[in-house]
Amino acid sequence: MAASTNATGRVPASKGLLQPEEFARRVRFDEVPASGPAAAWVERVWSASWELPDGVSASTSLIPHPAVEISVERGQLARAGRDRDGVWLTGVVTSRFDVTQFGNGGVLGLKFRPGGFAAWSGIPADQLTDRVEPAGDRLPGMDRLANLPLAASESASVMLDSVLAGAATAEPIPALVEEALALLAEPALTRVDQLAHRCGCSVRTLQRTVRHYVGVSPKWLVRRQRMHDAVAALDADTGEGLAELAARLGWYDQNQFGRDFARLVGMTPSAYRHRLDVADR
C-alpha cells in the first residue's frame, strides 16, 4: 500500500483504531484536547487528511466510542451516510466504522464526551444512534464551519467556540453518567449489575439514564469497552494468550471471544495479532 505524501506517523491517543500502523503510514493526523468551558461537553478536536496516488485507495476502520461527533468533510472519501462534502452530525455507531480514502481529502472532527452532546444540545442521544445527518438540520449555524481548514491545530478554537455559542441552555453531564463511564476503565468490570452496584443505583435507572444521554445501553458500553481493551492488548503484542485475555476481559471462553471479535473486527484475534508478520513477508 502506497503511503500518503503527508503522513505524520501519528495515531489517535484513544483506543479503537484498527491496524494503526497502516493508518500512520498514509494519514496526516492531529488532535487537540478540549480546553476551557467547552471541555464540559467536548473531548477533543481532531483532523485527518491524505494525499494518495491516482488509482490507490485505503480503508480506515475503527471500533467506535460512545460519542456523538460533528465533522467537516471535504474531498475524496466514502463512508456510510455521507454523500457529499459538508458538515455532518454522526450519532454513536454501534458497529465497526469504515472509511475509504482515495485521492485528496480530509476531515475535521469535534468529538463530544460520552453524554456530552445530549447535555449540551438537549437532544436525546438515542435519537441519533447509528444515524448520520447534515449538522445544520438539527443545529442551526453549524454550516458556517464548512470552509474551516482541515487541521485541528488551526481550527480547534473555532470549533470549540461554536459549541459555546450554543451552550446557553446546556446542562452538565449527569454525575451518574460520568461515574459509570469512569468505572468502565476497570477491566474487571464486565457486567451491568456490577456497574449499577458500583454507581449506587438500580439497573433500570442506569439503563434509562445512559440510553438518554449516551445513546446506547449500559450492556453495550461494557462490551465495547472490553473490546477496546482486547484490541489494544493485541496491538501491544504482549504475548498474553488468547484464552487468558478472553477470561481477563469477561468472556465466557476463548471461542465466544473469537466469535465476538471476528464479528466486529472482521478477522479472528489470532489473525489480527499476526497481521504485521504477514504484511512483512
Residue 21: the pLDDT is 86
Handedness of CA 70, 18, 131, 219 (dihedral sign): negative
C-alpha distances (whole Å) from 93 to each of 68, 107, 128, 148, 184 are: 9, 17, 9, 25, 18
Fill in the amino acid letter for 200: G
pLDDT of residue 281: 45
Q: How far apart are CA 257 and CA 163, in angstroms?
A: 39
Residue 252 is predicted with a pLDDT of 86
pLDDT for res 4: 52
Report the pLDDT value the prediction gives residue 161, as an integer from 0 to 100. Answer: 96
- Under 8 Å between Cβ of 227 and 272: no
Per-residue pLDDT tens digits of the chain, which is 281 residues long: 455 556 677 888 888 899 888 899 889 999 999 999 999 999 999 999 999 999 999 899 999 999 999 999 999 999 999 989 999 999 999 999 999 999 999 999 999 999 999 999 999 999 999 999 999 999 999 999 999 999 999 999 999 999 999 888 899 999 999 999 999 989 888 899 999 999 999 999 999 999 999 999 999 999 999 999 999 999 988 889 999 999 999 898 999 999 999 999 999 999 998 875 654 44
Report the pLDDT value the prediction gives residue 1, as an integer from 0 to 100.
43
pTM: 0.90
Phi-psi region of 130 (alpha: psi -120 to 50; beta: other; left: phi over 0): left
Residue 52 grid coordinates: 494518495
Residues belonging to the chain: 281
Cβ contact 99:81 at 8 Å: no
| Phi, psi of 34, rounded to the nearest 5 degrees | -65, 145
